A = this chain, B = another copy of it.
Amino acid sequence: MIIVLKEKPNKSQLESLLLWLEDKGLQVHISEGTSRIILGLVGDTATLDTDLISALDIVDNVKRVQEPYKNANRKFHPDDTVITIGNTSIGGGNLTLMAGPCSVETEEQIVAVAKAVKASGATMLRGGAFKPRTSPYAFQGLGDDGLRLLSLAKKETGLPIVTEIMDISQLPLFDDVDVIQVGARNIQNFNLLKVLGTQDKPVMIKRGMSTTYEEWLMSAEYVMAGGNKNVILCERGIRTFETYTRNTLDISAIPVLRRLTHLPIVVDPSHSAGDAALVAPLSNAAVGCGVDGLIIEVHNDPEHALCDGKQSLRPEAFDKLAKRLFALHQFIKAQED
């Protein structure tokens, strides 16, 4: 950590700062310039509160040299995390397709879609039971009935389930769920993250609309600090000035996160674009730069879907896409060998 002092700092305040830092077991290197003094701290600075230091009268600014996350940090865990879920696994060079409807609506719907996406190569079933909707007057999902229907589809197809939790109180209903999704709007619902850290199902954290990479990894750290090391990161587009697409898919997140963390990375091309016609090109792009998985909306009747039908693929379109993506993934892997 580097502390840049203001010009002409009060000497006694500087002395107390130095004593306090040394008291924390840190070595301090002082660089005295013509106009500024810079302190270089050596030691374990992860527990230092930068806000506290930057609030001091004599301090201009503070800069971390080390990342504030540990469990999620590739530096300390160089090998990719591979998470096994039923018969499938995510991370470590696989391409995992998660597919299903935005919302669970009926038994017929969810079972039909599950069978279709399984036949196309998907190894996980997605589907919303609890739906975060901007309007209190919009369809809010079937709730526990939706979870029950997902279980039926799982029994029929053997596909493990990934679905969203919206509140801690819903956790007891998630017994038969395989991966618990934290939605973009809850990425900094720290109480929820803490609770998910103390249970043992994998957790998939969707990036918030204005969440930086570091904040995202800190949210993963909340789960991991509680003991649960099975965290998946899902890029789903960020909010920018461009409104033609619903969100702006940040494709760079894939190679950047690959460098910063060992956790598996998934892309959601359906919510990023909000447009079924963009799902295929964006999926291609994500596989092209090494994503571990994709979560894609598929609906057997998108025109009558109760939410977000605009971005759902029909099963035939998903089937064609899945075949191409697996082939592309093999091609890319072969290039890298």
| A residues neighboring B (CB under 8 Å) | 2, 4, 27, 29-36, 38, 40-43, 46-47, 49, 51-52, 54-57, 60, 63, 65-66, 68, 132-140, 166-169, 185-186, 188-192, 194, 208-210, 212-215, 218, 221-222, 225, 238-245, 248-252, 254-256, 259, 272-273, 277-278, 281-282, 284-290, 302-310, 312, 324, 327-328, 331-332, 335
Contacts and interface: CB of A to CB of B under 8 A. Distances in A.
A138 B68 CA distance: 10
Given A288-B287, A288-B288, A335-B327, A138 B241 contact: no
Contacts of A309: 51-52, 55
B186 A189 contact: yes
A43 B331 CA distance: 50
Contacts of A307: 49, 51-52
Given A42-B33, A289-B282, A290-B281, A306 B245 contact: no
Chain A contact residues: helix, strand, loop or mixed: mixed
Contacts of A215: 134
26 contacts: A27-B33, A29-B33, A31-B42, A38-B65, A46-B137, A47-B137, A49-B306, A51-B307, A55-B302, A55-B309, A135-B221, A136-B222, A168-B168, A212-B244, A214-B244, A238-B241, A238-B242, A240-B240, A255-B282, A284-B288, A284-B332, A285-B285, A285-B286, A285-B289, A288-B288, A327-B335
Contacts of A331: 328, 331
A279 to B, nearest CB: 10
A106 to B, nearest CB: 16
A166 B191 contact: yes
Between A27, A55, A215, A287, the greatest number of chain B beta carbons within 10 A of the residue's beta carbon is seen for A55
A273 B304 CA distance: 39
A248 B248 contact: yes
Among A68, A241, A254, A259, max chain B CB count under 10 A is at A241
A305 B52 contact: yes
A123 to B, nearest CB: 22
A310 B55 contact: yes
A268 B55 CA distance: 18
- Sorted from nearest, which 6 A-B pairs have the closest CB atoms? A288-B288, A31-B40, A55-B309, A29-B31, A33-B42, A210-B210
A132 B188 CA distance: 8
A209 B210 contact: yes
Contacts of A135: 68, 218, 221
B328 A213 contact: no
B306 A278 contact: no
Between A34, A252, A256, the greatest number of chain B beta carbons within 10 A of the residue's beta carbon is seen for A252
Contact of A251 (B29, B140, B282, B327): B282
B166 A168 contact: no
A65 B4 contact: yes
A68 B137 CA distance: 9
B272 A252 contact: yes
A248 B240 contact: yes
A20 to B, nearest CB: 10
